[in-house]
Amino acid sequence: MTTSTLSTTDRIEKQPPAWTKMLDLSDRALAVLLLAPAALLLSLIIVYPVLRLGYTSFFSLSLTSGLPAEFVGLDNYRLMIDDPVFWETTWNTVLITLITVPGALVVGMALALLANLPFRVQWPVRLSLLIPWALPLSFAGLIFAWFFHSEYGVVNDVLMRLGLPGVIWFNSPNWAMAAICLTIIWKTSSFMALIILAGLQTIPRSLYEAADVDGAGRVRQFVEITLPLLKPSIVVALIFRTITALQTFDIPYMMTGGGPGTSTSTLAMYIHQNTISFLDLGYGSALAVVMFLLSMCVTVVYLRIIRTKG
């Protein structure tokens, strides 16, 4: 008993280890200390590459030329302005974004509303929502390339059975773009649906019951209750979808390789071509900086919308 009392007293009187004094400095210092590892990691894998990208874009650096890197200022950006392929791929990227983002939103909303119905067994519905999302983009591209194949494709088969003429999808810029957009909408609407479904499930059932009693029909309930309460989920889904749409690469790469010509090539594919195929890191970096700024602009616009809507 005595021993134990003594040892307790000893423990109390003992000074805390020196390193813990650091923690006593201030809450601010502690916060910095705790955040430091994450900040360091983020700096290494995000901040540094972005800065390095910007830096490289001011150099003429082509690995095939055998010449050393040369500072050229804004030359790469000037080159871009006169480059018709840059404008074409940028337009294609914007077009894909303008078509597939609203397309995926509408289809995703419909899927989410469907999945939110009180099915007796929920998992097949949820699973069928998850499968397109879980499928790798390049697989989806390959699968749909076969679907749209002019001779063996299921799409032409269905068209012909309906008495309509088949289409040689990948020979025409417009049809090829249509096929790509349809594929992207199929692939990405499930992601939209998942985010919207999560939003739908946060809306209390009693609001619909109150609206029922208040006299609102289904359409009115959708417009007056569902849509306004889904706004935050929709904005989040749109931010993610728009940013990934601006980076579209895999699906057109696998389906058309950017063809016919460069009519379905995207900015990301052009960056890939310049940096990986032509090893022109200077020009490729400048293109990538433009894409980065484009994504940033979209994000800022959406975030402002969220902030103003409260």
Partner 1 sequence: MASVSLRKLEKSYGALRIVKGIDLDIRDGEFVVFVGPSGCGKSTTLRMVAGLESITDGEIRIGERVVNKLAPRERDIAMVFQDYALYPHKTVRENMGFSLKVRGVSMKDAEGRINEAAEMLGIGHLLDRRPGQLSGGQRQRVAMGRAIVRRPQVFLFDEPLSNLDAKLRGQVRTEIKRLHQQIGTTIIYVTHDQVEAMTLADRIVILRAGDIEQVGTPDDVYNRPRSVFVGGFVGSPAMNFAKAKVEGGNLVFADGNTLPLAQIRTGRETALEGRQVIVGVRPEHFSTAADASLALNVKVQVVEPLGSDTLVHFAIGNETMTARMSPETRPEAGAQIRVGVDPAKVHLFDAVSERVLD
Window 195 to 224, contacts with partner 1 (CB under 8 A): 204, 206-207, 209-217, 220, 224
Q: Given the complex with partner 1, which of 75 and 224 has the nearer CB atom?
A: 224
Residue 126: CB minimum distance to partner 1, A: 24
Residue 229: CB minimum distance to partner 1, A: 6
- Beta bridge partners, 60, equal 70
Q: Given the complex with partner 1, which of 136 and 228 has the nearer CB atom?
A: 228
Token pair, residue 151, equals: 């001779």
Q: Given the complex with partner 1, which of 72 and 229 has the nearer CB atom?
A: 229
Residue 219: CB minimum distance to partner 1, A: 11
Binding flag, residue 6, partner 1 (CB under 8 A): no
Residue 241: CB minimum distance to partner 1, A: 23
Measured between alpha carbons, how far is 262 from 84 in angstroms, rounded to an integer?
Answer: 10
Measured between alpha carbons, how far is 142 from 151 in angstroms, rounded to an integer?
Answer: 16
H-assigned helices in the chain: 2-13, 19-23, 27-42, 48-56, 75-81, 84-115, 123-134, 137-147, 154-161, 173-200, 205-214, 218-221, 227-246, 250-255, 267-272, 281-309
Tell me how far the alpha carbon of residue 135 is from its chain's centroid.
Answer: 15
Window 117 to 176, contacts with partner 1 (CB under 8 A): none
Instruction: Give the number of residues in contact with partner 1, rule: CB under 8 A.
Output: 17
Q: Given the complex with partner 1, which of 210 and 296 has the nearer CB atom?
A: 210
Q: How far is CA 259 from CA 78, 132, 148, 175, 264, in A?
A: 26, 25, 14, 11, 6
Residue 137: CB minimum distance to partner 1, A: 36
- Beta bridge partners, 70, equal 60
Among 158, 228, 261, 293, binds partner 1 (CB under 8 A): 228
Q: How far is CA 236 from CA 109, 184, 193, 209, 301, in A?
A: 13, 19, 12, 27, 12
Among 130, 135, 143, 225, binds partner 1 (CB under 8 A): 225
Q: Given the complex with partner 1, which of 17 and 215 has the nearer CB atom?
A: 215
Window 170 to 199, contacts with partner 1 (CB under 8 A): none
Q: Given the complex with partner 1, which of 114 and 211 has the nearer CB atom?
A: 211
Per CB under 8 A, residues contacting partner 1 are 204, 206-207, 209-217, 220, 224-225, 228-229
